[in-house]
Amino acid sequence: MKNLDLEPTNSTPLVKFITDGRLLIEGRSLPENVTKFYAPLIDWVSLLKVEVVRLDINLEYLNSASSKKLLEMLKVLDANNSIQELIINWHYEADDEDALESGQIFEELLRRAEFRYHEYSEAA
């Protein structure tokens, strides 16, 4: 298994999935073909064999189709029996109640994941 590195575009986020369990999704997620973009990510996490996963999610924007695929990916991680500890660092901009609420909804839908919320100030 190799690391998964995807450079960001105007419509897709930066993805850095490292085989040691450090995962990052950052930027904007509104791909034209959401299934085509997220399928490799979902496949990758389904094969991950580590005890601890730390996933940083810092999405300034995600459309509803991306939200569904992100949840699908999180459920696959949550169900992966190799993973003993799943920590999701959910980053959101101060005053962005929708982003915070999205993280809280995902947290409710997962069984084992531990969510840690990180508020940051709006960029100047």
Per-residue confidence (pLDDT) for residue 68, from 0 to 100: 97
Tell which residue, 2, 87, 69, has the closest CA to residue 30. Answer: 69
What number is the average pLDDT over the span 77-83?
96
Average pLDDT over residues 17-37: 97
Asked if residue 92 has pLDDT above 70, the reply is yes
Task: Inform me whether the pLDDT recorded for 21 exceeds 90.
Answer: yes
pLDDT at residue 80, as a whole number = 96
pLDDT for res 123: 61
What's the pLDDT band for 46 if we cut at 50, 70, 90?
very high
Share of the chain above pLDDT 90, in %: 94
